[in-house]
Amino acid sequence: MKFALLGSLCLALSLALVPPVLGQAPARPKIVLLLADDMGTGDLSCYGATDVRTPQIDALATAGVRYTQFYANGAECTPSRTALLTGRHPQRMGGLECAIGTGNVGRYDDAIRLAEQSDLGLRPEDAVLAPALKALGYSTAIFGKWHLGYEPKFNPLDQGFDEFIGCLGGNVDYFSHEELSPLPVYLSGRREVSREGYMTDLITADAVDFLKRRRGTADPFFLYVAYTAPHFPFQGPDDADLARNQTAETWTAGSRDQYLKLVRSLDDSVGQILAELEANGHGDALVAFASDHGGFAPASNGRLRDFKGTTFEGGIRIPMIVRWPDRIAPGMTDPRPATLLDLTASFLSVAGAGTDLVSLLDGLPILEGVEWPNRNLFWRAKRDETTWSAIRSGDLKYVTRLEGGTWTEWLFDLAADPGEQENVAGEHREALELLRTSLRDWSAETRSRR
């Protein structure tokens, strides 16, 4: 079959381009995860953006590996962060395959039910990444956006993190640090705080302070820097006056120029964290930079179709860069399809978690120079009365949308049509049925029991 041949060729080429792994992996490497919010693949100059320069993130790519077909495991914030911190598909957790709404609102049937029970969030017993690293002797910290539950029982301090300063919800004013709801959302640990400053700068300052306190020590740490930028409201560092006049109607509105102010500020902050790592003797840390899903207009997803919220490529494909000095060769690109689930498995594997734990996860440890098996990747995103789903198998991708009782499906050959413009479902009925069946089986297997 045409697609099988394409998939085999793609796999052979990708194996020939595997980034070389240099030397022995250090015991318990220090790990830094820098996560942007709503950033598209067309918003970084190292991914081809022409209207913005991102020299600090570009330098990270130059020193490491840049992935060109990397995916989030959700089309919105909450499911992607659930996947990262559990290493498992967010559908397994219940209620978390859509972003939790401002003010602790569920946005589809299962999430609404859990919200009514005051139980909408990531349960501590489902968290894997931070607790496992902590058990291995890591100091753990998260600064920035949580978005995995407003209730006190979902606090990061109960999910393996030693330190937390950040916002509970999905979007905050960059200057007042408030949401469009009366709920307190900006916390230091378990306590509500009030601080002066631009949100991106405050997150960076907290991360840098964490690193400064580790100068002169070889003890491992996991630092998760979860930026709110460049998510709306589109307020740059010099836009305090604009922020004071922001309304609910203008909260999500902004020009491309306004949006890029947030991108440039984020890039500057990444540079500060990288500089501090070098200055305090932790320049050998494993550093990963990613977005939590595709961009939301006026973000750019390059030539990819659509934006966040859908399972087209523009909704789920993300920039991903990993720098690991003396372990990953610099200046590499990796075209193999992978997801944030693989990043979680990789962090745990290189930290020494062992195969008993890693094998229970839904991802693969991709940072250790192993060949990846040919596998299927799955997505589902529910919101209100709409459900998007997708499966990628080799170069073949099947996308479905159920909206208002109307079912639509597409089949794309991503090798020939990365922008997903030509629906070839009518030409390949056998492949279509195989992918339908695989997607249906996956949905049944990952059904939450919550």
**pLDDT-derived band at 372, boundaries 50, 70, 90:** confident
Residue 371: pLDDT band by 50, 70, 90 thresholds? Answer: confident
**Residue 426, pLDDT above cutoff 50:** yes
Q: Is residue 343's pLDDT more than 70?
A: yes
pLDDT above 70 as % of the chain: 94
Q: How would you label 226-244 residue by residue, b for 16+ Cβ within 10 Å and e otherwise?
A: bbbbbbbbbbbbebeebbe
Region of 160 please: left (phi>0), alpha (psi -120 to 50) or beta.
Answer: left
Q: pLDDT digit string (tens) for 286-323?
A: 999 999 999 999 999 999 999 999 999 999 999 999 99
Neighbours of 118 (CB within 10 A): 12
The pLDDT of 78-93, averaged and rounded, is 98
pLDDT of residue 26: 62
pLDDT of residue 27: 73
- Structure-token match 């890693």, residue found: 358
Residue 19 has what pLDDT? 56
DSSP state of 131: H
Per DSSP, helices labelled H in 224-284 are 240-244, 256-279
Task: Round the average pLDDT of the chain to a whole number and report it.
Answer: 93
Residue 2 confidence (pLDDT)? 35
Report cis status (omega within 30 of 0) of the bond before 90: no
Longest Cα separation, the chain: 63
Q: Are 34 and 273 in contact (CB under 8 A)?
A: yes
Lowest mean pLDDT among 10-24, 255-269, 354-368: 10-24
Q: Read off the pLDDT of each residue in 43-48 and give the average, rounded to a whole number.
A: 98
* Whether residue 122 has pLDDT greater than 90: yes
pLDDT at residue 369, as a whole number: 73
Q: pLDDT over 90 for what percent of the chain?
A: 89
Q: What is the pLDDT of residue 4?
A: 37
> Which residues are annotated as catalytic?
77, 147
What's the pLDDT at 374? 87
Q: Tell whether the model's pLDDT for residue 14 goes beyond 70.
A: no
pTM check: above 0.75: yes
Q: Give the SS3 label for residue 404.
A: coil
C-alpha dist (Å) from residue 181 to 173, 244, 342: 11, 16, 35
- Pairing of β 338-339 and β 186-188: unpaired
**In the predicted model, is pLDDT for residue 328 greater than 50?**
yes
Question: Nearest 5°: phi and psi at 78?
Answer: -60, -50
- Tens of pLDDT, residue by residue over 51-61, are 999 999 999 99
Residue 395: is its pLDDT beyond 80?
yes
Supply the DSSP string of 18-29, one letter for each residue. Answer: PPPBPSPPPSS-
Confidence of residue 357 (pLDDT cuts 50, 70, 90): very high
